[in-house]
Structures are given as structure tokens and as C-alpha cells.
């Protein structure tokens, strides 16, 4: 009798868990790119292009990560930037950025990919990562130096 009751309760708990899991998956399936960026922004720190430039010129150690594609990077990038495309970040970052305590500024074309990259790096254990709000477009608009 006890064993039957335990089995019934276990089945009910399992069905409830699967139901909740399927609802969660359905909610995620309806998310757009903007939704993902909005969610990521809740968990990261963003800095302005002026603050990024000031930090880069301060003499403090900084790594600037360009999350755009290699093709975009070749057309121009921030001074001393390292190119790690957003689509390859999880695969290449450990080799290119072994120190997880480094101060890292991520940027992309307008801020979406760098926001997601910053969130991902945080999830991977990087503790001092920020996203440059406005990205490459804002940097160019401010007429800051490029390579």
C-alpha cells in the first residue's frame, strides 16, 4: 500500500514537473532577438562610449573585445581590439582571454551582440565584463579613433 502511494505521488510530481518544463519552453520559443537582449541587459553592466574611451586611455589594463564578424572587424575596429565573433565566443574565449578577472569591454555594431556576449562571459565566470552601449556606431558618431 505504501509503495503504491509512493509510486502515485512520484508520477504526479513527474507530470507536474514536465508540464511546467513544457510551459517554460513554450515561453522561450516566443522570444525575439530584442527579448533576449532585454533579458541580458538585466544582468550586465553597460558603459557609455565616453567612459570606454576614458578607461582605455587611463593606462589601466583593459581588453577590448569586438563581437562583430571578422569581415566587420577588418573594415575597422577600436584601437587594440581583439576580434571574437559572438557566434564563436564560447569556443574561443578561454584561449584568447584566459584571465577571468581581466577588465573586459565588449562592443559590436550597435550594442545587441555585445550585450549577449557580456552576459555569456559572466555565465562563464568572467567577473569584470561590461558592454559598450551603442557599440561601433556610437564610437564612430563620437569621432573617436579607430584602426
> What is the enclosing helix (H) or strand (E) of 132?
strand 129-132
> Rounded to an integer, what distance in angstroms lies between the CA atom of residue 79 and that of residue 69?
16
Q: What is the pLDDT of residue 3?
A: 60
Q: What is the pLDDT of residue 8?
A: 59
Mean pLDDT, residues 28-55 = 87
* CATH architecture assigned to 35-141: 3-Layer(aba) Sandwich (3.40)
Residue 61 CA to its chain's centroid (Å):
21
66: β partners: 83, 107
Q: What is the CA radius of gyration of the chain?
A: 21
Q: Kindly tell me if the per-residue pLDDT of 43 is higher than 60.
A: yes
Q: Kindly tell me if the per-residue pLDDT of 25 is higher than 80.
A: no
Q: For residue 2, what pLDDT band results from cuts at 50, 70 and 90?
A: low
DSSP 61: -
Amino acid at each position: 500500500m505504501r509503495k503504491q502511494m509512493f509510486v502515485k505521488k512520484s508520477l504526479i510530481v513527474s507530470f507536474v514537473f514536465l508540464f511546467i518544463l513544457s510551459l517554460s519552453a513554450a515561453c522561450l520559443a516566443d522570444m525575439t532577438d530584442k527579448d533576449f537582449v532585454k533579458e541580458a541587459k538585466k544582468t550586465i553592466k553597460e558603459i557609455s562610449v565616453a567612459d570606454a574611451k576614458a578607461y582605455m586611455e587611463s593606462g589601466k589594463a583593459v581588453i577590448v573585445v569586438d563581437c562583430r564578424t571578422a569581415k566587420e572587424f577588418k573594415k575597422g575596429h577600436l584601437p587594440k581590439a581583439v576580434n571574437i565573433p559572438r557566434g564563436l565566443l564560447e569556443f574561443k574565449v578561454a584561449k584568447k582571454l584566459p584571465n577571468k578577472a581581466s577588465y573586459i569591454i565588449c562592443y559590436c555594431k550597435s550594442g545587441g551582440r555585445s550585450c549577449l556576449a557580456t552576459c555569456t562571459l559572466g555565465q562563464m565566470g568572467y567577473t569584470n565584463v561590461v558592454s559598450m552601449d551603442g557599440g561601433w556606431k556610437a564610437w564612430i558618431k563620437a569621432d573617436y579613433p579607430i584602426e
